[in-house]
Structure 1
Amino acid sequence: MSIDFERRGAVALVTINRPDAMNALDVEHDRALADVWKEFEADETLLVGVLTGAGGRAFCSGGDLKTYMPWRRDVALHGTASTISFGGMTLADEITKPVIAAIQGHCIAGGLELAMACDVRICTADAKFGLAEVRWGVLPGGGGTQRLPRLVAVGCALEMILTGETIGAERAERIGLVNRIVSADTLLGEAFAIAERIAANGPLAVRAAKRAVQHGLDRSLADGLALEGELQKRLLQSADAEEGLRAFAERRRPVYTAAGARLKA
């Protein structure tokens, strides 16, 4: 199986390793990637993930058009739900921990949908981004039509979705699709530096903050503030908050022990 899963302290490195296929996902590898994310979520010692593609030519070129999309069409023809949980990432709330996309080369179709399902995106100067599905008679069904307009201006999103054309790294950074452009030889190092900064923070607070942002975007400001307040209340009742505030008062680094805990519903 060509989905590599490596633990580096509190950070998981997940690599789509099908460079000969531009890191496209067929049904088998799509399911394998979903299994990896389930393992990542269940492992209490892992706090942040980094997703990348092998070979330097592509982050991921999406679902394999020769196998994956015909399978999706067969599923649709038989009346089964057509919502795509691409790589176990693209439905809401599938991954509660932060994930960083380290992008080199082509990041298109389902590959871009995977990247947009991540929380932070960094890329190299040669990266290319696009949602080409309309060219083949389908739409971006792994969250593309929903996440892209939430990340960039609606006009920019519609231009990419309706034309199927790709954009380069500079424009992607300019419109807010990626956080920053880095050199190829520092791509993973930069991704891990961000991941380690996140992992050093209160794990419950990080996950709650991610939830507040994701769920607050679709609510009114009043409802979003209410969600934020409820999550803050639960955090203040946690051992993490007690340790963090004590560490601040004692002028030392906090030592969190609730890494695998979840806030009570």
Structure 2
Amino acid sequence: MSVLELNVKDGIAVITLNRPEAKNAINQAVAETMDRTLDEVESRDDVRVVVLTGAGGSFCAGMDLKAFVAGEKVVTDDKGFAGFVQARLTKPVIAAIEGYALAGGCELALSCDLIVAANNAKFGLPEVKRGLTAGAGGLLRLPRQLPYRVAMELALTGDMADAQRMYDLGLINRLVSAGAAMDGALEMARAIAANAPMSLKATKAVIARQQDWSLDEMFDRQAELIGPVMRSEDAIEGSRAFAEKRAPVWKNR
């Protein structure tokens, strides 16, 4: 049985962490397989959006501490922890979360562009309780995605936060009933996958990068990314399809 599964259908790639007996904790095998899998989905023209989830009713409990003690490498040179948190994916990624998203599992979720979570989900960075630090992006991304003092509280106490609180604070896009996270994520993924591939790529890039742009440069930097989209065949096709009251046929060019 593979520690990670990939299924592609209708423009959506579903990546499933498949170590339910360990609450999908990350070991070396998962990290290395994830690294290769992301290369594959990034290169495939039939993939427009990615969904990341976990098997067995839990998203991910973080780094496998047994693997860590045994000296396993749970980071990859190109993509960091789990072969994921430092990846430069141009395609949108949705986290579908049931159960625990803790430590490195929470950092995986923070690395995604969108989050759909079941109301039984738990989030947290408990590294300080283990003599560790949340070095896989949690301390960097959490203050950008939550209010400063909330991020500080979660990081310093190591306590868990429930899905309702995280939804109320804007960390979660959609809150669904227990067992429905994948259905909710696929519904969102289908809405995204119906859109023009070039437009999706440029839109994600602008939103992800704009926070580091100055007021003087932001429109010029945006123009660099969206210019090819506005001049593309798909721009004409989208406008023509709207006028003709039909679904567009995207060519990704």
Scaled by the length of structure 2, the TM-score of the pair is 0.92
CA shift, 1:95, in A, is 1.1
Query: Which ranges in structure 1 are unaligned for 5 or more consecutive residues?
Result: 76-80
Q: Is the 8 A contact 1:217 1:224 kept in 2?
A: no
In the alignment, which residue of structure 2 is the partner of 1:54? 55
State how many pairs are aligned: 252
In the alignment, which residue of structure 1 is the partner of 2:112? 118
CA shift, 1:181, in A, is 1.2
2:9 equivalent to 1:8:
yes
2:184 equivalent to 1:183:
no
Q: How does 1:231-242 map to 2 (within 5 A)?
A: 231-242=225-236
In the alignment, which residue of structure 1 is the partner of 2:147? 153
Q: How far, CA to CA, are the matches of 2:74 and 2:197 in structure 1?
A: 41
CA shift, 1:158, in A, is 0.9
CA separation of 1:69 and 1:95: change in aligned 2, threshold 3 A: farther
Using the aligned pairs only, state the percent identity.
Answer: 40
Look up the SS of the partner of 2:216 in the other structure. helix
CA separation of 1:165 and 1:70: change in aligned 2, threshold 3 A: farther
In the alignment, which residue of structure 1 is the partner of 2:63? 63
Q: Is the 8 A contact 2:68 2:74 kept in 1?
A: no
Q: How far, CA to CA, are the matches of 1:68 and 1:118 in structure 2?
A: 24
Aligned partner (choices 206, 209, 212) of residue 200 of structure 2: 206
AA in 1 matched with 2:34: L
2:87 equivalent to 1:86:
no
Q: Is the 8 A contact 1:107 1:129 kept in 2?
A: yes
Look up the SS of the partner of 2:7 in the other structure. strand
Deviations 1:176-215 (A, max 9, x none): 1111210134321111110010010111111110000111
Query: Which ranges in structure 2 are unaligned for 5 or more consecutive residues?
Result: none
Q: How does 1:101-140 map to 2 (within 5 A)?
A: 101-140=95-134
Scaled by the length of structure 1, the TM-score of the pair is 0.88
In the alignment, which residue of structure 2 is the partner of 1:37? 38
Look up the SS of the partner of 1:102 in the other structure. strand
CA shift, 1:73, in A, is 8.9
Q: How far, CA to CA, are the matches of 1:115 and 1:34 in structure 2?
A: 16
AA in 1 matched with 2:150: C
Q: How far, CA to CA, are the matches of 2:178 and 2:128 in structure 1?
A: 31
